Amino acid sequence: MTTTATHRALNFSAGPGVLPEEVLRQVQHDIWDLGGTGIGIMEHSHRAASYDRIIAEAIADCKKVGGIGDDYDVLFLTGGASTQNHMIPANLLPEGGTADYANTGYWARKTAEECQYYGKAHIAFDGKPSNYTFIPRQSELKFSASPAYFHYTSNNTIMGTEYHYVPQPPAGVPLVCDMCSDIYSRPFDVTKFGLIYAGAQKNLGPAGATVVIIRKDLLERSPRPLPTLLRYKPFAENESRPNTPPVFAIYVVGLVFKWILKQGGLKPIAERNQSKAKIIYDVIDATGFYTGHARDDSRSLMNISFRTPSPDTDKLFITEAKAEGMDNLKGHRSIGGIRASVYNAFPTEGCETFAQFMREFERKHG
Amino acid sequence: MTTTATHRALNFSAGPGVLPEEVLRQVQHDIWDLGGTGIGIMEHSHRAASYDRIIAEAIADCKKVGGIGDDYDVLFLTGGASTQNHMIPANLLPEGGTADYANTGYWARKTAEECQYYGKAHIAFDGKPSNYTFIPRQSELKFSASPAYFHYTSNNTIMGTEYHYVPQPPAGVPLVCDMCSDIYSRPFDVTKFGLIYAGAQKNLGPAGATVVIIRKDLLERSPRPLPTLLRYKPFAENESRPNTPPVFAIYVVGLVFKWILKQGGLKPIAERNQSKAKIIYDVIDATGFYTGHARDDSRSLMNISFRTPSPDTDKLFITEAKAEGMDNLKGHRSIGGIRASVYNAFPTEGCETFAQFMREFERKHG
């Protein structure tokens, strides 16, 4: 294999995104032979002893990393986070009931839209008028009378905004969080949440697995008859294998949990993410050449969305960056501009290289 | 990487199962760097040019292998074949309508059970009284008055039975087939089918992707309001990426399609599968020591379920086989015994080695 020789790009993809290189090395080996079984990870039965260990460790390590207690279940589902858009109301919203949603961007809005098939979505905050440039303060959340749950999106991948506090729903109302793009990028108090979900493809692994952390009492809600695989409970009761699970994706997510533990857990990860983002935001703030999309108090540490003085200069920026091995910097089609995603696995040195490039680009074209 | 050195076991797993070694080699390389992009296959955005090519080729190659015309769409979904248990009636069965199912085993029964959430399942054939040892003849299928579709399972992984003809539903009634464990193991006339589905993890790739081949007119059936990702149409309209798809799994399935084409397509594949299975069935038929589960006319070429004179001898067989590098031979918990799965990627020499072992085991313990 010549893989070692290959030069790796600086991958700023918003997801699927960059993974730790030591994880990739392990996967390369295990594709051919998992732990001396003579069988590759893609070829092992989900009922084999090797997978029994993989799923048990993935669940245990997920709890260890997140400080998650026994009153929560960790599930590995499929269909991406978008499948949770209907699974959540299907499982938690009584027929004709109301759930509250904070609309802080593209994905937050889509989630609320899917609620209509099971009940009513009350928009507790609407960021659209302000072009989704900021995160609401607690006082800006207007809840309905008695919502079945309150849903928010902790980090908005496209807008580059992020909650820097955990919003509080009315007493007794479960807090549901789409944590896709900042899960395990910083410590958080799981006891404040009823349900947390995240597609793996940003901070946890490849696309193909969705992590759901659910408070056990919510498994007992049963507002309507649902097919087996649209209910959370059969997954909770069967280590997420009521049917064949996405073995490979779950295995990689398990390796990433072990990588996070090796880094010392979420506290050092969070500190590194702070300094990584600062390296880039400092260049944006240094002069008027670059403009960040998010209001200062709402800036994301994962996705840094900004623009140069003109769309043409944005294009040029992306082209020149790519020529220097910095890839996937194009902003989402819905807002354009430039987006640098710097998830857990993105190296600090990569941020420095990028900041240096930004300064030089400004010097040349400013 | 030391992978080349490692000894590989003979993997008789019923699924996830053995994959072609040249595919595994390609994956090992692309995990680190896909086609010189400097970015691994798990780290590429599903909107990147590299993935545009992967999904376009996967769809085109799937059609090429299966001889599938433009009146069909090829979709790549998630949730395993079991998710189709509810997606099919949800999308094709009118409220309170009836669909016909042939119950030829564990999975066929489970599929029919999930139909209840949308309408009525009429059992056109019930194999339970005969312990699922045979496949019904056309004349043994008793259809209801006007079913919305007729569903059958072309190969029963557990029972080791397989249809050697394509059953014919009443005129105008779409034929729906769970082809999980024998898709692309032999040629078939797609024009006889309305919808074909298969979890990838047997003949097509790793667990985590489900292939659905659907006749375009069926995409227009809309018997009830459904959340976006429970409908087939958004997948058909967006190259199976209305949201983030299981990029890695689809990429591997694409490699397997190319491998099948390199083998010369389904005709030579089918001939090889015929001779592979014959090597093992011949040993079963040679004496009275081994007993096959399936009736002769219903034998599966993919999953060979049989037993020795006693459960203890079965155990011994499985243990001694494993000691000689032949793994995953334990029969499904629901029927016990021994099961040898010999999917497309399982080598002919492996069948000969196994047959030799069977003869020796009989000599020692017969």
Per residue in B33-81, pLDDT (tens digit) is 999 999 999 999 999 999 999 999 999 999 999 999 999 999 999 999 9
* CATH number among 3.30.1130.10, 3.40.630.150, 3.90.1150.10, 3.40.50.300, domain A265-365: 3.90.1150.10
Which among A29, A86, A206 has CB closest to B229? A86
- Whether residue B264 has pLDDT greater than 90: yes
pLDDT in tens, A249-290: 999 999 999 999 999 999 999 999 999 999 999 999 999 999
Closest of A116, A107, A100 to residue A168, by C-alpha: A100
- With 50 as the cut, is the pLDDT of residue B315 above it? yes
Q: Average the pLDDT over A159-167 and give the result.
A: 97
User: A323 burial class (0-12, 13-18, 19+ CB within 10 angstroms)?
Assistant: exposed
CATH no. for A25-262: 3.40.640.10
Q: Are B273 and B164 a contacting pair, CB within 8 Å?
A: no
Residues A335, A293: contact at Cβ < 8 Å? Answer: yes
A 32-71 residues with CB < 8 A to B:
32-33, 36-40, 42-46, 48
Closest chain B C-alpha to A76 CA, distance in angstroms: 11
Beta sheet of A291-292, edge-to-edge order: A291-292, A303-307, A338-341
* Closest listed residue to residue A51, CA positions, set A247, A207, A253: A247
Closest Cβ opposite residue B11 in set A2, A11, A43? A43
B-contacting residues of A 241-260, CB under 8 Å?
242-249, 252
What is the pLDDT, as a whole number, of residue B339? 98
Whole-number pLDDT of residue A6: 61
Tokens of B136: 């019904």
Strand partners, A73: A214
CB B215 within 8 A of CB B71: yes
Candidates B45, B77, B211, B224, partner chain A, best to mutate (most A CBs within 10 A): B45
DSSP string, A280-339: HHHHHHHSSSSEESS-GGGB-SSEEEEE-SSHHHHHHHHHHHHHTTEE--BPPTTT-SEE
- The CA distance from A43 to A33, in Å, is 9
Q: What is the DSSP letter of B228?
A: G
Calculate mean pLDDT across residues B282-302: 97
* Residue B287 to residue B297: CA distance in whole angstroms: 19
Q: Answer yes or no: A330 catalytic.
A: no
pLDDT at B39: 97
Band of the pLDDT at B96, cuts 50, 70, 90? Answer: confident
CA distance, residue B33 to nearest chain A CA (Å)? 7
Query: A135 and chain B: CB distance < 8 Å anywhere?
Result: no
For B333, which residue in chain A has the nearest alpha carbon? A47
**Average pLDDT estimate for A105-127:** 96
Q: What is the per-residue pLDDT across A164-196, written as a single tens digit (0 to 9) for each? A: 999 999 999 999 999 999 999 999 999 999 999
| Whole-number percent of chain A with pLDDT over 90 | 97
Interface of B with A in 7-26 (CB under 8 A): 7-9, 11, 13-19, 24
Q: What is the pTM of this model?
A: 0.97
Share of chain A above pLDDT 70, in %: 98
Is B42 within 8 Å of A29 when comparing Cβ atoms?
no
Cα dihedral sign, B72-B76-B79-B82: positive
Least confident segment among B141-145, B316-320, B330-334:
B330-334
Cβ contact B64:B197 at 8 Å:
no
In this prediction, the answer to ipTM > 0.95 reads: yes
A45 closest CB neighbour out of B16, B79, B86: B16
Cα B215 from Cα B219, distance rounded (Å): 7
Instruction: Average the pLDDT over A217-229 and give the result.
Output: 97
What end-to-end distance do the CA atoms of chain A give, in Å? 45
Nearest to A206 by CA among A148, A145, A248: A248
Domain positions in chain B: 25-262, 265-365
Q: Report CB contact under 8 Å: A227, B44.
A: no
Residue A4 has pLDDT above 80, yes or no: no
Which is nearest to B247 in space by CA: A106, A252, A180? A252
How far apart are the CA of B346 and the nearest CA of chain A, in angstroms? 11
Are B38 and A322 in contact, with CB atoms under 8 Å apart? no
DSSP string, B235-298: HHHTTT-SS---HHHHHHHHHHHHHHHHTTSHHHHHHHHHHHHHHHHHHHHHSSS-EESS-GGG
pLDDT greater than 90 at residue A366 = no
CA-nearest residue of chain A to B89?
A227
Q: What share of chain A is helix, strand, coil (3-state, %, to 5)?
A: 40, 15, 40
B242 to chain A, closest Cα gap in Å: 9
Cβ of A78 and B79 within 8 Å? Answer: yes
HSE value, Cβ hemisphere, 13 Å, CA-based, for A187: 10
Choose, from A61, A100, A107, A330, the residue flagged as catalytic: A107
- Greater confidence, A27 or B1? A27
- DSSP letters for B35-48: TTSSS-GGGS-TTS
Q: What is the pLDDT of residue B2?
A: 38
Enumerate long-range contacts of A281-284, CB under 8 Å, 24 or more apart.
A282/A355, A283/A355, A283/A358, A283/A359, A283/A362, A284/A358
Q: How far apart are CA A204 and CA A189, in angstroms?
A: 19
Residues of A in contact with B200 (CB under 8 A): none
Bigger pLDDT: B366 or B134? B134
